[in-house]
């Protein structure tokens, strides 16, 4: 977890699983890897509007849809080394 400022805290948990597999020839290897970003798919809302004269005072303007705090993402990769 990291803190942008005193009013907003964003939670972002990731997980990586990797497996190296040796192939029949000496120096050849296969690496399988899976990454999950925002593992628990936690919504990270912007802080509430704190301008008292605003019509939106106290509301949450956005869940930051697909911008700097994206929803869960899964990435798979295979690497062949020789």
Handedness of CA 9, 11, 12, 14 (dihedral sign): positive
What was the pLDDT predicted at 68? Answer: 65
Query: At residue 48, does pLDDT exceed 80?
Result: no
CA distance 54 to 48: 11
| Of 18 and 9, more confident | 18
CA distance 53 to 76: 48
CA distance 25 to 22: 8
pTM for the model: 0.61
Q: How far is C-alpha 13 from the geometric centre of its chain's CA atoms? A: 6
């Amino acid at each position: 977890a990291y803190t942008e400022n005193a009013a907003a805290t964003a939670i972002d948990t990731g997980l990586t699983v990797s497996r190296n597999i040796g192939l029949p020839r000496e120096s050849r290897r296969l690496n399988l890897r899976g990454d999950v970003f925002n593992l628990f798919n936690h919504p990270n809302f912007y802080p509430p509007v704190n301008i008292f004269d605003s019509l939106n005072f106290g509301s949450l303007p956005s869940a930051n849809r697909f911008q700097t705090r994206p929803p869960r993402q899964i990435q798979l990769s295979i690497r062949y080394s020789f």
